[in-house]
Amino acid sequence: MSKQTYKVCFCFRRRFKLAATEAPPPIKSLFEQYSDSNGIMTVENFHRFLVDVQKQAGASVEDAQAIMNSTAHIFHRKGFNLETFFKYLFGDSNPALEDRKVHHDMNAPISHYFIFTGHNSYLTGNQLSSDCSDVPIVQALERGVRVIELDIWPNSNKDDVIVLHGRTLTTPVELIKCFRSIKAHAFNASEYPVVITLEDHLTTDLQAKVAKMVTETFGEMLFTPDAGSLAEFPSPESLKRRIIISTKPPKEYLKSEESKAGAMGSQREKDSAAEAWGGEIPRFNSRITADFKEDLEEEHEEEDLQDDHCAPEYRNLIAIHAGKGKGGLDDWLKVDPDKVRRLSLSEQELENAAKTHGPQIVRFTQRNILRVYPKGIRFDSSNYNPLIGWMHGAQMVAFNMQGYGRSLWVMQGMFKANGGCGYVKKPEILMNNEAIFDPRASLPVKITLKVTVYMGEGWYYDFKHTHFDAYSPPDFYTRVGIAGVPADTIMKRTKAIEDNWIPAWNEQFEFPLTVPELAILRIEVHEYDMSEKDDFGGQTCLPISELRKGIRAVPLYSQKGDKYKSVKLLMHFDFVQSV
C-alpha cells in the first residue's frame, strides 16, 4: 500500500493511504456465487453469469469463451479469478450501451427522426463578440452533428458573401471556406445526410452567386428535388452522403432582424450564464410568459419563398422549404397533404405554444419538420432543455455546440443512440396519428429503472493530485437522475466518500418512468467542498432506450464532452415492468 502526502501550511504534511482498485463487496459476492471452490469462474459459470446477471439471454457458451479470449492479457488458464473478472467488468468490452452500429430503421421520411442540430454553427464562443470560423463547424461534424446553420450576409463591398452573426461584433468568415470545410468533413462521423440551413440576408444577385458556389462545391453530393416542393421527405437511407439546403425568404429575415435588434437592449439584463457553464437544466414553465407576444411579433411575417424575391437558380437548390405563413399558430401548424415544409420556433415560442397547442404540434411534426432554436437573449451561447422540443416531436432541436452545460450533455446523450449517426428514430408514441400524444397528460408508470452505483476510478490518473483539494484526497459523490418529460425528471445523489481517489458508494436508486422512450439517464460525479463550490469530476448521459441491463462500465466525460482516458464508474442497471 503506497502513501500519498499533502502539504498543510508551510511545515506540516498529511499522509494518506493510496488504496489499490479492488472489487467492492457486492462484486465479490457475485463472483463467489458463480465460481467454483478453487476461486475460478469457468467458461460455463461465466456463461451463466451473462444470462442471469447481465440479462444476455441469447449468449452462448461460445460467446462467453470469445469474451474470455478477447481479454487474453488478463485471462487465467482455467477461467477468470476475482481480479481478472473485475477487470473484465470495468473494461471497454463491457459498455453500458448497445452495439455502436446503426440499428434503427433508416427508410422512413426524415421527419420521423430526431436530428443532431447545431445553432449558429460558425461561432467560436459567445453570440456577440466571438470569431466566426469554419473550425467549430468541423468540430460539430466530427461529433456527428447533421444540421449546420450559416447566417449569410453581403460583405462590406456588397460583392461577395460572408458568414456573420448580424448586427454584432463577431468577426466574419468567408462562406466558401465554410462550404469547403463542410464538404471535407461532412461524412467522417456519419454517412447520413447533412442539412445546411441558411439564414439568408442577401440580394438576388448574391443569391445567384451562392447558388453557383453551392453547385460547384458540392456537385453530385447535393440533393435537389425534381419538383418545386416535396410532397414527402425522403429517408436518411436514400440520402446517404448527400448535402441538403434549407432556407426561407430573405425579406422576412431583414424585418425580423430589425425587430430583434430593438428587443436586445431591453432583454439583455434577463440573460444568465448559469446553464452555459453547468447550472441545472431549466424546468418547464407552467404559464404563458409576458414576452410570448413579443416573440410572435418578431417572426410572424415569415412565409414560403416567392419567385420574385429569390434568384431562380438559388430557389432550385432548396430541398427543405421553410416558413410560417402570415397567420397565427393554427395557420402555422396546418398539415398540407400535398406539401411538406420546415417550421422554426424559438424555445420560448414553443414552450408557450405547447400550453394550448401541444397535440397539434405533435401532429404537425409527424409529417413536417419543426426546428427549435435558442431565444435571442442567450448571448453567452447557453442552451435550453431539449426535451421541450423532443416531447413535441421536434426533429431539429438547435443547440449552441460551442457552449457547454447540462442541456448540451443531454443532447450529446440522446445522439449516442443508433450508433451515433446523428439520426434517432422517433418513438411510436410520437408517430401514432390516431391517438395523438399529449406531452402534458398524466400517464401511468410504464417501467422502473433501477440503478446501482458501485464505485469509480481513474481520477488519480486524469487529474493533478491537488486539483480537487490542496490538502487531502477528494471527497467524491455521484448524482444520478433522469431528463425526460416533466413527470419523469428528477435527480438524486449518493453520500460523499471522504479522502478517497477510488470511492465505493454501493447505493441503489429507483426511477419510475411514464415515457421511457424519451428518457435520458444523467450521471455526474462531483467533489464535495465545504467552503467553496463543489468541483466537477465527470459526467455522461445515456439514452435509456439503449441501456444494457447488468453490471456495466460507464466512462465519464469532461464538461466540454471529451471522454476522459481513465475516469469511469461501475454501475448496475435493471428494468422492472409495471403491472
Backbone angles phi, psi at 367, to 5 degrees: -120, -35
Residue written as cell 419523469? 488
Check if the beta carbon of residue 255 is closer than 8 Å to that of residue 362.
Answer: no
Which amino acid type is present at position 355? K
Residue 69 buriedness (CB in 10 A; 0-12 / 13-18 / 19+): exposed
CA distances in angstroms from 145 to 109, 169, 194, 241, listed in the order given: 19, 26, 8, 14
The sheet with strand 550-557 has its strands ordered as 490-493, 476-483, 520-527, 535-543, 550-557, 563-577, 447-457, 504-513
Per-residue cell: 478 = 455521484
Residue written as cell 429503472? 449
3-state helix, strand, coil in the chain (%, to 5): 30, 25, 45
Per-residue cell: 76 = 487465467
- Rounded to 5°, angle at Cα 361 from 482 and 292: 85
Q: Which residues contact 90 (CB under 8 A, 6 or more apart)?
A: 21, 457, 553, 568, 570
Residue 59: CB atoms within 10 A of its CB come to: 18
Check if the beta carbon of residue 450 is closer than 8 Å to that of residue 510.
Answer: yes
Check if the beta carbon of residue 550 is closer than 8 Å to that of residue 427.
Answer: no
Check if the beta carbon of residue 474 is closer than 8 Å to that of residue 483.
Answer: no
Check if the beta carbon of residue 113 is closer than 8 Å to that of residue 426.
Answer: yes
Could you tell me which of 211, 214, 226 has the C-alpha nearest to residue 311? 211
Q: At what angle do helices 43-52 and 61-70 cross, to 10 degrees?
A: 110
Return the biggest CA–CA distance within the chain: 85
For residue 520, give the H/E element and its range.
Answer: strand 520-527
Residue 312: CB atoms within 10 A of its CB come to: 11
Catalytic-residue membership of 165: yes
Residue 219 buriedness (CB in 10 A; 0-12 / 13-18 / 19+): exposed
Which amino acid type is present at position 546? E
Catalytic-residue membership of 119: yes
Strand-pair category, 396-399 with 369-373 = parallel
Query: Which entry of 165, 300, 321, 572 is annotated as an active-site residue?
Result: 165
Q: Is 181 left (phi over 0), alpha (psi -120 to 50) or beta?
A: alpha
Query: Which entry of 104, 112, 119, 300 is annotated as an active-site residue?
Result: 119
Could you tell me which of 229, 222, 228, 143 has the C-alpha nearest to residue 189? 143
What are the residue numbers of the active site? Answer: 119, 165
